[in-house]
Structures are given as C-alpha cells and as structure tokens.
Amino acid sequence: MTGFFLRRKKLGDNTGLPSRRLICKGNMASMTRPLHPFWSAAALICTLAAPALGHAADDGAALRTAVDAVIRPLMAAHDVPGMAVAVTVDGRVSYFNYGLASRATKSAVSEHTLFELGSISKTFAATLATYAQEQGMLSLADHPGAWLQALKGSALDRATLLQLGTYTAGGLPLQMPDEVDDLAQAMRYFQGWEPQAAPGTVRRYSNPSLGLFGYVAALAMKRDFAGAAEDILFPQLGLRHTYIKVPASAQGNYAWGYNRDNQAIRVNPGVFDGEAYGAKSSTADMIRYLQANIDPSRLAAPMRRAVEATHVGHFDMGPMVQGLGWEQYPYPVTLNRLLEGNSEQMLREANPARPLAAGAAKGARLFNKTGSTGGFGGYVLFVPEKKIGIVILANRNYPIPERVKAGYAILQQLPAAGY
C-alpha cells in the first residue's frame, strides 16, 4: 500500500473561513518497519511509548508514526481493504488514509471516502430528537402513542420517547424480526410486543427502540427522517457530505464494504434503517461532527442546546453511562473499562439500568460510539474537556474490541506526539 497521506489543518468555524494547511505525502513502507500482522492495538500501547516518539522534530510525523503503528497491523490481521482515520486536538486536524475504497477499481481511500456508519448513525437520530424538543415540536417525556395512534394504549406506550432513545423501554430486541419488512408490519409488531421489564429499569441495546425514537422525531418535524437529517440536521452541523441516501453525484466517493467471504457489499435498506444504522459519511465530515460536539458554542443556539442535550447521562450501566446516542465514561478511563462498556454483554443482553438525575454525570468525560454494517466497521470517540476527537472508519466489519483498542492506543499517544 503506497497511498498514505497526512493532512493537518486548523479548521475554521462553519462559516467557511480560510484554514491553514500542511500537507505531507509519503510511501507507507518507508515510514516505519512493519510490525507482526497479528499484534493487537492493545499491545502497541506499550510499544509506542518509546521516548524517541516524544522527541520527534515534527509533531505531525510523530503522530503519523503512532497512528501508522496501530492501523497497519490491524488491517493486516483482519484483512481490511481500507481505513480512514482522523484526529482532532484543540482544533488541529490530521488525516491518515490507508488502502482501498474498492478492490475492483483500486480506488484509494481518502478523507472524502464515504463509509457506512452503522450505529454511529444513532447519534444523529438523537440530535434530531433533541433539536425537535428545543424547537418545541415534541417533548422527550411524550409517549409514542401521542404521535402514533396505532401504539396508543399498547404496552410500548408505557415508555417515554426518552426511554426509547436510551434503550430502556422494557427490553425491545436488538433487531426487528425477519418477517418485518415495512412500517405497517413494524407497527403491528410494536402493538403486540410484550416488555420484559418495567420501562426505565433495564437497558437492552435495540435498533427498533432507537429507530422508532428517530422516526417520531422526524414525524414531529413533519418530515421523513432522511429529509429531516439531510436538509436540516446535517447542514446546521456543517456536514456537507453526509447522507442517508447517497446521491448520484457522490456515488464515486462511496466505498464498497467487504463481508467475510470478501464479497463487495453495501447496506440493505430496512425499517428505520436511516434512523438506526443508515448514515454514510467521511472522516472529513465526521471529525467536523466531533468538533461540533467538543465545542458546540459556534452552532446556532437551538442546535447548540440540542447537541448539549445528547451529552446528558440518563442511565448508569456500571462501566458506562447511557445518554441519547452517545455512551460516556469518566475521563481518564482505562482500556478495560472501555472494553467492558462496548462488550457483547452490553450489546446483546438486558442489563440493569440505574436512572440518573439530570447533570449527575459530571467532570471530564469520554464519549464514544461504535457502528457496524455487513461490510463496514467504525468507531468514534471524543473528550470535550481535552478538545480531543478520533474517528476510525473501515470497509470491513472487524471485531469491536479491536476498534476500541485502536482508538485507545491512538488516544494514549497524543501527549507523546506533542498533542
């Protein structure tokens, strides 16, 4: 792989002000000695802590060395065709691009390559809902039956929109049943659904739960979700190349994902796909999105308050706190705690949830979210108090623990790289 690029710049605000940019190009093979392909990102944390890294003459070169040492062996170990990484610290942004967006066309990954975000999309649905609330269009204390007559009086109607948005409505499953193909069938499913627990007592991660939450938010805005996201939400966040439905004009930047059989695939549409897992974006847009979360002060007031509302912790899950879209941890945080919060148990099981009073989660916090589709895997994290954000996108659905280890390894190296 020879297409390795580092771009580092100081971003202006969303008004399109000029930016300073330093661009360095180089052959990946000439930068560092290759590491064994089966080293994990966790093992690299110690390896990368060599004193020489902190004394590198150029901050950008030091960070490039650190990121390269994490990502290259990760790609080799999991046969990842392409990866894009972006790092922001105090407004400075660096991009690191590896491999191929398409093996068929041999097109290289760049910061403009579109990747499927999977469940990172849920943070957009959460922000749309809090924005609708800020505009007086709905209240998160509403019950779904207030917006959907078909659900009025059902068991699901005992839950609030807030509980749908935090997966605490009573145990909705991870996925819709296979036989549910459209909205009418989804409404019939919800009508007959029986909870496993009282609303607000357990968290069970769920596409149907968050999907319905996002659907109601768009309904309150008198739009479909894709229209509300693409016409209202994304522009206000400064996201110029983020989509629910990728237009023809952007298809050339849309990467192909690769499944276990190395077949080129893309996500299939489904009920609530846009709300729960259907967004596509680039590292250029996603790092801007993290910057808007790190410092929302440059956003228009309603959107600023909407973003801030997604940072409120609502349920204590032990290793992590569940908010709307984002999951959060006290910072600094250990790798083990991050792995526990992103574990299979948290993904697939119902776990006791302790409600938190608004503002109970205080102090420095790390926010994160993973996302997957059949051919893509992503991980994003940010720490507002440190003005740090990291985006890692890949066109392979490789294991979540490896994504978390990679993000943590890069995070730990920022001080040594002069950031």
Query: What are the structural domain ranges in the chain?
Result: 4-119+239-309+334-346+369-413, 126-220
| pLDDT for position 58 | 65
Q: Can you tell me the distance from the alpha carbon of 409 to that of 64, in angstroms, rounded to the nearest whole number?
A: 13
Q: pLDDT (tens digit, 9 = 90+) per residue, 183-203?
A: 999 999 999 999 999 999 999
Mean pLDDT value across residues 328-351 = 98
Report which of residues 43 and 204 the model is more confident about.
204
Q: Mean pLDDT, to the nearest integer, of 217-246?
A: 98
| Mean pLDDT to the nearest integer, 351-365 | 89
The pTM of the whole model exceeds 0.75: yes
Question: Confidence class of residue 84 from pLDDT cuts 50, 70 and 90?
Answer: very high
Question: What tokens were used for 222?
Answer: 């008198």
Over range 243-263, report the average pLDDT: 98
- At 277, the amino acid letter reads Y
Amino acid at the residue 170: G
Mean pLDDT (whole number) for 321-329 = 98
pLDDT in tens, 303-318: 999 999 999 999 999 9
- Mean pLDDT over 146-170 rounds to 98
Secondary structure letter of residue 104 according to DSSP:
T
Query: Under CATH, which architecture does the 4-119+239-309+334-346+369-413 domain have?
Result: 3-Layer(aba) Sandwich (3.40)
Report, as an integer, the average pLDDT of 278-282: 99
CA–CA dist 130, 305 (Å, integer):
8
Range list of β-strands (E), 305-387: 315-316, 321-322, 327-330, 351-352, 354-355, 365-372, 377-383
To the nearest 10°, report the CA torsion of 249, 255, 259, 262.
110
411 — pLDDT class (breaks 50, 70, 90): very high
pLDDT over 70 (residue 50): no
Which residues belong to the active site?
Answer: 119
**Average pLDDT over every residue of 241-257:** 98
Q: Residues 6 or more apart from 57 whose CB is under 8 A from it? A: none
